[in-house]
Each structure stands twice: as structure tokens, then as C-alpha cells.
Amino acid sequence: MVAAVAAPTGTDPGQIPAQVPAQVPLPLPVAAFGAGAAGALVLGALGCLALPALPHVAVLLVLLAAGCAGWWRMPGRWRWGGAAVAGFALCGLHALASLGGQLPAQHERGDFTVEGRIVGLPEAEARRTRFQLRVHDDPALPRALRGAKLRLTWYDNEWSDEPSRRHELRPGAEWRLQLRLRAPRGLRNPGGFDAERHALAARIAASGYVREQATALQLSPPRGLDAWRDRVAMRIATVVPGGASRYVRALALGDTRALDDDDWHLLRATGLTHLIAISGFHVGLVAGAFALLGGALWRLFPALGHAMPRPQAAALAALAGAVAYAGVAGFALPTVRTVLMIAVAVAARLGRRPLRLSGSLALAAIVIVLVDPLALLSAGFWLSFGGVAWLLWCLPDAGRRPLRDFLSAQWVATLGLLPLTAILFGQASLAGPLANLVAVPWWSLVVVPLSLLGTALDALHAGWGTGAWRLAAAAFELSWPLFERLGRSPFALWWLPEPAWFALPLALGGAFWLLLPRGVPGRPLALLLWLPLLWPDRDLPRHGEVELVMFDVGQGTSLLLRTAGHATLYDMGPAVRDGWDAGERAVVPALQALGVRRIDTMVASHADADHAGGLDAVRRRFPGAPLFAPAGAGIEGAADCLAGSGWQRDGVRFRFLHPPLHFPYLRNEASCVLRIETAHGAILLPGDIGEAVEERLAGRVPGDLPADVVAVPHHGSRHSSSAGFVSATRARLALVSAGHANRFGHPDAGAVARWTGAGARVLGTPEGGALRVRLGADGLEVEAERRRRRRPWDAVAREGGSRAASLAVSYAPLFPPRAPRPQESIRAGTGQGRRVADAAPAAAVGGGAGDHRRTVLDAPP
């Protein structure tokens, strides 16, 4: 029972003496909601997301019931096992629901007329606007689209003089649009952004674009919280002059639309991304201000204490302010985490229950996982909770010595979060500790409060916040030149190759060891545990070997050729003017993830945008590399790739076969054809040549065409891969770089049939993602990125198409090279000696016990 105790006569009704308990709390299973249970719940959900495929819904429902029962009823630490099982099952059910709500295959690339409301803030770019639409529940639509959230793009029509109406899009407005939709799908490269994982976490049912501007109709004007955020953001952009305006928008509203790629690069290089958008610390500032205001109001009007004691009133005011400000920020995950922590603390204050900060953090984590376990897929979850957990463990009594505690907090946050930052983003900011020493106090205590004050005043009356916003911009500009100088230093940002799976736990253990109290022996030895993370093995080829990586860049081409000590890049992927750039979004991140520190040679097969579009982005990151291109291509700074010329690196010979001297520039037909020769076999990269040049090469240099690996010409076009050329190459492996369901129909079924008919295996980036091929003494090894990291949200695995079957097969070369005989049996080197027929490639990639990450198929004796 709860016993109410009246305050003694003569006591200030706004206060209840501490020695007189107001309530007697009921006993609760506190251990069920402590740090141990929270950790078990998170680990269980994480284990589910690490599976290659999700269990059946019936299995998950049984596990959820058993886990919840064990979590609540089992004694002691045994309940942690129940929490882990519950987290596993709950996460699986959420993932199944999200994936099941995506557009089914029968509606792929279909046209639909939908009505819905714009959610979030549309992002207007030079030639397109990206936005999200919440579809109304229309019975005429497929079930997957009713009430679904869509990720859409409205492009400018370059062939029409009619002005684009995409700038009319406003948050909260309702529109009727004609759309072409497809299920969420993205590129898969080392170190690349996983669009399919993002769609799962955000519950995106489909992506697409606006088909017809003439049929677009706005049904209702903007309304709601997002509409207000957009209006305030536009006012800030209008009344605050200079470049600082976009940062004030980010700090005041969490609106980062105006920040460009260069801005984000500087923020990453200086380690300030956690401050530039609204963070949990900002929510805490607002909550503290509201608590002070609530307490002051109760002091001014003591009679209010009869209704509620002042401490409880201040706590509720803090919670109300935190919720309101999180709404202004669009309920981003760091703000939600802080709101939940504040809510837990307020509940404890209202219930007269003592609660430590660690308990509040654990309860916040439990609530987030129970409400949305897919939040674990976001980097914000790990950085947010990880940072607070490190601070609570290392600085439990912070606040007594402000300056020393601040410096200690910077050291703890930098060291504790470095492993997570390296794993999540593949980089470490060397300038971050110094930049944060200045930015944290100056921005958090001056710039952010002024930005928030301006937003609050503008909410009371439009225009009142102008002065505060301008002061915030002036304060920001005082510090920004220092951060620009730090961020542009060549030593500011350290890009890290992708490490092995065990690097993260080892680095976290090293951080734990280093942060132990003074006097603990062997602390310098903890640095050894960081080596697998900071200096991972890059798995380079040996002398005389070569590795080819065909990046997944959509409808385009980009290949990396690595020898023991050098790197050559053949093509840089597609790019659209004022739009998406594969060089920046796919090629450069993949090169960094593979540990490529410099590019020694670049080849642009020809000047078409799907091959050389990403050149500028690659040059910015890897300047100074010699570049070859066809004569007349018009690529600045390029030397001619003439037939017969070449170079040799690390026992591997590179030689151009086409175009010859005085060959006119005919775009595709003038492509640089590059042959790579090793003691273990050869690789042929023909660019986009067609049948005419193929026949010319087969007639004039037939001895230079045989190769173990061939990049299929022109993405597998029906006007290439002539029978004579295919036969002359005698290839064992044919690689296709193309976009999924591209409008050109690449690769053409006839072209694929000619390669398979000649005895070659055909692998493509649409099904396998990035493809890695190593030609060396151990054989011809092939690895597909989608198979290397199989996840339950993988679009190809869920489609279950036959083309996805052979994702990671490889062959041991015979020297001199030869083509395998049709229907020849080959033995999979899996340690089990099973045999596979060429007619059943799916059996070679079943992923059963004994399979290596790179499967090697040996020719039979």
C-alpha cells in the first residue's frame, strides 16, 4: 500500500521535509530493469540483426513469450538470459514487419497515383528535391502502400521549358502525385552506406520519383510541427547574414539541409558532428532552464505548493521542456534518449524513489529497445548511450572540480568512443580532442543558448528571435576560423581500413584498461589491443599477384587493381551534374575501407559520364596520380592510352591493347583496353567497346586476348560480347558492372548466354555487390560483398532470384590458361570434398559448414 503522510503544521507547502517520507514505495524487481538487464536486452537484439536470415514469425513469438517470462520471473542474474531472448525475438518481429511492409516484387517499377502528406523537411538541391511522403490509406492501392512511408525524388525536366514545381513542396502539405516506385535497394561496397539497412530502420516501404509534374496537385497547405520548423528555418536564413546562418539553423532546429559536403568534411575532421546538430546535451540545457523557471514560479506563488510540491513541479517542467524541444528537433535519437532519461528521473522524483544516473540510462535503453529495437541499426544509438556510459563509469562524482572534470570528460569521451567511431565511420579525428576543448564550452554555453533563445522568442512572435540568432551567428563566427584551419590540416582526419570482427572488442577492452585508476599495472600494454583496429591487415597480394575489385557503382564502371605495393584505378564510376556522384559516394569510401593510401595510376576508359563522372571526386581525395585516357577524350591532364604502351609493377605487367595511334575518338569504341598479365594468369578490361572493335582485336591481336578474368564489355550490351571475341578470350570468369533493373536492360540475356556457353561463369554487381577477384599462386579467388556480409535486410537474398545464386565462387588457374570443359565437374575446396557441376552453380555457394570466406574451386586431377 502507499501511505500518504501530511506535512507538519507550519511547513512551507512548497516543501516536504526530507525526514518525513511522503510515500512508502512498493517493492519492485529492480534487477529486471537494471544495467545488466538493459545490456542483455541490447545484446539479444543485436544478435538477431547479425543473423544472415530471420527466423519464422512463429518461432519468434514463442521466444518472445519465453523470454518475457524468464525476464520477469527468473531469480538473480538468470533473468538476464530471459531479457536477451526477449530482445532477440522482439527485434526479429520488428524486422519482419518492416521488411514485410516493403513493396513486393510484382509491383517493382510500377506507376502509382498516390495521395499523402510530406513528413520531415524536404531537401532541395540544384536539380532535384528529396522528400518523404506518408501515403493515405487508400483501398485502391496495393496493401504495401497503404499508410506506407516513401522516400521520393522530384527531378527537374531538362527537356521542358516549363518551370519546375518541386520548390512548392513544403513539410506537412498533402499532395497527389504520380510516382514510379521500387522496393528499397542500394549499392554494396566495402565502407559504403547501406541503404537497405537504413530503409529497414526507417520503415521505408519503397523509393521512387515523381513521374509527371502536370498531374501533381497540392491538396492541402502545410501544417504541423514540421511546417513550423520549416518556416522558422527560412526566417533564420533570411535574417541572419553570412555563412553562419546554416549552422544556426542546425543548432536551433536540427535542420542540416543547408550544410554541404565540404561542411560535413570539416565537421568530421574536427570531431564536431556531435555538436552541430541538436544533441542530448542541448536537450539537457533546455530541461534545466525549464526546471529553473518552474521552481521560480513556485517560489513566486507559494500557494501552488498545495497542489504539488516545488521539486516535483520543477521536474515536470523539465520534462515538458525536454519533450517540446525534442519535437523541435524532429525527435532525433539522441534527443529521445535524453528525454527518456529525464522522464525516468522525473518518475523517480514523483514516486519519491532514489535513482542513480546509471539506472536512468539503463531504463532509457530498455524503453528504446522495447519501443523500437531497430534503433540499434543507427550510429546515434551506440554513440549516444556509449558516451554517457563511459562518463558515468569513469567520472561518477563529476561536478566538484569543474575545470578538471571537463578535461577528464574530454579524455574519457575521446578514448572511449574512438573504437565505435572507427567501426561506424572508418575514420578517426586527430584534431577532435583539441577542437572539442574549445567548441564544447563556447558553443554549448554561448552559441547554443543564444540559438535556442532566438527560437523560443520567435515561437512567441515571429521576428522576435532575430537579435538572438544574429548574436549566435556572431559568436559562432568567432570560433569557426580555428576549426577550419584544424579541419583542413592533412593530419586532421585519419581514414582507417575495415578491420576484422575481433578488433572492436579488443579495442574496447584496451580503452577499459587505459581508463582504469592510476596504479593499475601494465596500462601501457593496453595500447597493443588497439593494433587490430588502427593498423589492420590489409590482405595485400603477394609479389607477382594481382587483385581486382569491381565496385558496385550502379550503371557505370569502376575497378581497382592492386599489386603488392601499388594501386591502379580503372574508371571512377558515374556522376550526374549537380546530383549523385559515385566517385564521392561509392568509390572513395571503398578505397579508404580497403586501405588504399595512394593511387599510382588512373585510367579513364573514355569520357562518358558513367565511366569518368567520378574522376573529380577521386582526384580531390587522391591528387597527383598519372591519368591515361583516349586521345581526343578531352579529359584535362590525361596522357594518351596508346596500344602497345604500358608499365610493370611488383612483377605484374599492365599493357594497353587499344586504341592505336591516330584512332579517332568515337566514345565507346575508343575505350582504353587494358590487359594485366601475371605468372598466374591474365585479366582483360575492354571498357565499352562494341562488336566492331572486338572483331578488330580478335583479328589483329588474338594472342593478347586470352584471359582468366574479363570485364564484360559495355556492361553486357547486346551490341557487344560477340561470339568471336568471347571465344578468343577463353575466360573462366566474366564480370558485369551494371545497375539493378537499369533502363538499358544490361546485361543482355544473349550476351550472358554467349559467355556461359563458352564456359565462363558470369557474376554481376547487381546480384553480388562489389566483386573481389585475386589471381595468384593459390588460384583464382572470388568474393562478393553481399555474401561476405550476409544480413537479413539484404534485398538480393530476399528476392531469392536464380541470378543471386553464384555470388562467391572461384577457380584455381591452370598455367597456361585454358577454358573449363562444358559440364566439367569441379571440387569445392571446403574441407569436405564435395563435387559441384557447372550446371548447378547454386550448390557451390550454399554457405554450409566447411565453406571458407573465399571459396576456391580446384580442377579435378
Q: State the burial class of residue 577 (Cβ atoms within 10 Å of its Cβ: 0-12, 13-18, 19+).
A: exposed
Residue 669: phi, psi to the nearest 5? -70, -15
pLDDT digits (tens, 9 = 90+) for 256-274: 999 988 899 899 899 888 7
Lowest mean pLDDT among 191-195, 813-817, 828-832: 828-832
- Contact partners, residue 539, CB within 8 Å, separation at least 6: none
C-beta separation of 684 from 729 below 8 A = yes
Q: Which residue's entry shows cell 501533381?
A: 216
Quote the CA–CA distance of 425 and 415 in Å, as a whole number.
16
To the nearest 10°, report the CA torsion of 592, 594, 598, 602: -100
Quote the CA–CA distance of 186 and 193 in Å, as a whole number.
8
Q: Which of 320, 606, 327, 279 is nearest to 444 (CA)?
A: 279
pLDDT, mean of residues 512-535: 87
pLDDT, mean of residues 535-544: 93
The CA-atom distances, in angstroms, between 589 and each of 424, 496, 597, 612 are 13, 10, 12, 17
Lowest mean pLDDT among 235-239, 334-338, 647-651, 810-814: 810-814
pLDDT digits (tens, 9 = 90+) for 135-165: 999 999 999 999 999 999 999 887 777 888 9
Q: Which amino acid is at 505?
A: P
User: Predicted confidence band at 6 (pLDDT cuts at 50, 70, 90)?
Assistant: very low
Where exactly are the structural domains of the chain?
Answer: 30-100, 105-223, 228-495, 546-858
pLDDT, mean of residues 68-93: 92
Q: Which of 541, 594, 571 is nearest to 189 (CA)?
A: 594
Joined grid coordinates for residue 844: 557451390
User: Predicted confidence band at 638 (pLDDT cuts at 50, 70, 90)?
Assistant: very high
The CATH class of the 105-223 domain is: mainly beta
Q: Decide which of 19 and 552 is more confident.
A: 552
Tell me, what's the pLDDT at 490? Answer: 82
Quote the CA–CA distance of 77 and 68 in Å, as a whole number.
14
Judged against a pLDDT cut of 70, whether residue 757 lies above it is answered with yes
699: left (phi over 0), alpha (psi -120 to 50) or beta: alpha
- Packing angle of the helix pair 244-253, 225-239 (nearest 10 deg): 150
The distance of Cα 193 from the centroid of its chain, to the nearest Å, equals 4
Q: Decide which of 809 and 753 is more confident.
A: 753
C-beta separation of 416 from 386 below 8 A = yes
Lowest mean pLDDT among 13-22, 349-358, 772-781: 13-22
Q: CB 858: neighbour CB atoms within 10 A?
A: 13
Q: Decide which of 855 and 78 is more confident.
A: 78
Tell me, what's the pLDDT at 596? Answer: 95
pLDDT, mean of residues 667-694: 96
- Contact partners, residue 524, CB within 8 Å, separation at least 6: none
In the three-class reduction of DSSP (H, G, I as helix; E, B as strand; rest coil), residue 833 is classed as coil
Tell me, what's the pLDDT at 277? Answer: 67
Judged against a pLDDT cut of 90, whether residue 394 lies above it is answered with no
C-beta separation of 317 from 293 below 8 A = yes
Quote the CA–CA distance of 427 and 196 in Å, as a whole number.
22
Judged against a pLDDT cut of 70, whether residue 1 lies above it is answered with no
B/e letters for 820-836, b = 16+ CB within 10 Å, e = fewer, are: beeeeebbbbbeeeeeb
Tell me, what's the pLDDT at 831? Answer: 29
Tell me, what's the pLDDT at 14? Answer: 39
Quote the CA–CA distance of 37 and 50 in Å, as a whole number.
20
The answer to whether the peptide bond before residue 816 is cis (omega within 30 degrees of 0) is yes
Residue 128: phi, psi to the nearest 5? -160, 165
Quote the CA–CA distance of 386 and 786 in Å, as a whole number.
29
Quote the CA–CA distance of 754 and 762 in Å, as a whole number.
10
pLDDT digits (tens, 9 = 90+) for 81-99: 999 999 999 999 999 999 9
pLDDT, mean of residues 646-658: 96
Judged against a pLDDT cut of 60, whether residue 466 lies above it is answered with yes
Q: Which of 387, 307, 296, 310 is nearest to 341 (CA)?
A: 387
Judged against a pLDDT cut of 80, whether residue 401 lies above it is answered with no
Joined grid coordinates for residue 416: 572511449
Quote the CA–CA distance of 857 and 847 in Å, as a whole number.
14
Q: Which amino acid is at 442?
A: W
Q: Which of 230, 273, 277, 275 is nearest to 256 (CA)?
A: 277
Q: What percent of the chain has pLDDT over 70?
A: 88
Judged against a pLDDT cut of 70, whether residue 856 lies above it is answered with no
H or E, element range at 674? strand 673-678
Beta bridge partners of 115: 176
* ∠ CA 634-639-645, rounded to 5°: 135
C-beta separation of 546 from 561 below 8 A = yes
Judged against a pLDDT cut of 60, whether residue 242 lies above it is answered with yes
User: Predicted confidence band at 30 (pLDDT cuts at 50, 70, 90)?
Assistant: low
Q: Which of 624, 571, 616, 574 is nearest to 597 (CA)?
A: 624
Tell me, what's the pLDDT at 797? Answer: 85
pLDDT digits (tens, 9 = 90+) for 302-338: 888 888 888 889 989 999 988 988 888 777 767 887 8
Tell me, what's the pLDDT at 304? Answer: 86
Q: Which residue's entry shows cell 498531374?
A: 215
pTM of the model: 0.85
pLDDT, mean of residues 667-689: 96
Q: Which amino acid is at 88?
A: F
Judged against a pLDDT cut of 90, whether residue 664 lies above it is answered with yes
- Report the CATH fold assignment for 546-858: Metallo-beta-lactamase; Chain A (3.60.15)
